[in-house]
Amino acid sequence: MGDKTNKNVINKAGMTCSRRDFLKASGILVIGVGFGGCTIIDPVPASKGYLLVDTKKCQGCLTCMLACSLVHEGFESLSLARIQVVQNPFQGFPADINIAQCRQCVEPACVAVCPVKALHVDRWHGNVRTVNTRKCIGCKACIAACPFPPGRPIWNFQENHSQKCDLCASSGFWNEKGGPGGKQACVSVCPMKAIQFTDQIPVQTGTEGYNVNLRDESWGLLGYTTE
């Protein structure tokens, strides 16, 4: 039998990475199915949408979090918001703010570890990585699996399931159509336009693919750095 975990993968973006290397770097707990404890991860289609943020443009108002929880849950919540903005008021710019948006990873660790495929690729909604909350058994493996702190899958302690950013595919509490083909509440409300939707796959390693420069000349005219 071949060691499929060593097989290189060429994904849609033309990037290659070893599955073993990816799993190692992610620190993912590989759930044993089949070959000597190693999972065969079926290739999943890439998402048709991604959120890019500019942490240097963010004003820390948390409106994105309030909008996210409102359109998904119907109430305001910071803890159940599927995008998180973390800030330290005493720290100097630009390290005072971090934005943790879901990366809709090309090779999503959270999808890989879900034992019941509740966290799955939603082919009906542009391949967003999302949770079927009816299937979720509350094992929290997805929450532990996310390699990017603070972890992007959210534990909904009120309904005992996980949930995550789906680019507003399941946002029922506003009049817009969500998902990669529609609008995202956080993008719509951000006062600084510090969140942008793209259908281009960002560079998957590091943060530069997802934390980008959205500041143009008009931002510079306001007296802020455009670098």
Closest Cα partner for 41 from 30, 56, 51?
A: 30
Smallest separation, CB 51 to another protein (Å): 17
Of 12, 49, 71, the C-alpha closest to 195 is: 49
Closest CA to 132 of 168, 178, 160, 163: 163
Q: Residue 210 or 219: which CB sits closer to another protein?
A: 219
**219: contact with another protein by CB under 8 A:** yes
User: Shortest CA distance to 185 belongs to which of 70, 52, 78?
Assistant: 70
Residue 89 interacts with another protein (CB under 8 A)? yes
Q: Which helix (H) or strand (E) holds 73?
A: helix 63-73
What the block records as the tokens of 38 is 């190693």
Q: For residue 200, what are the CA distances in angstroms to 43, 58, 175, 181?
A: 19, 22, 26, 13
Residue 105 tokens read as 């990873």
Asked if 90 is part of the footprint of another protein (rule: CB under 8 A), the reply reads yes
Q: Applying CB under 8 A, does 75 fall inside the site for another protein?
A: yes
Asked whether position 180 contacts another protein by CB under 8 A, the answer is no
Cα 201-208-55 angle, rounded to 5 deg: 110
Burial class, 206, CB count within 10 angstroms (exposed 0-12 / middle 13-18 / buried 19+)? exposed
Query: How many residues form the binding site for another protein (CB under 8 A)?
Result: 60
* Alpha carbon separation from 174 to 54, 69, 102 (Å, rounded): 25, 11, 21
Residue 79 is a binding residue for another protein (CB under 8 A): yes
Restricting to residues 10-69, which ones interact with another protein according to CB under 8 A?
A: 56-63, 66-67, 69
Q: Does 177 bind another protein (CB under 8 A)?
A: no
Give the x-and-dash track for 105-124 against another protein (CB under 8 A): --------------------
By CB under 8 A, is residue 141 in contact with another protein? Answer: no
Minimum Å gap between C-beta 34 and another protein is 31
Judged by CB under 8 A, does residue 148 bind another protein?
Answer: no
State the nearest-atom distance from the C-beta of 157 to another protein, in Å. Answer: 5
218 lines the binding site for another protein (CB under 8 A): yes
- The token duo for 197 is 């939707």
The nearer residue to another protein, 59 or 198, going by C-beta atoms, is: 59
Q: Which residues are at the interface with another protein (CB under 8 A)?
A: 56-63, 66-67, 69-71, 73-80, 84, 86-94, 96-98, 100, 140, 149-151, 155, 157-158, 173-175, 185, 188-189, 191-193, 216, 218-225
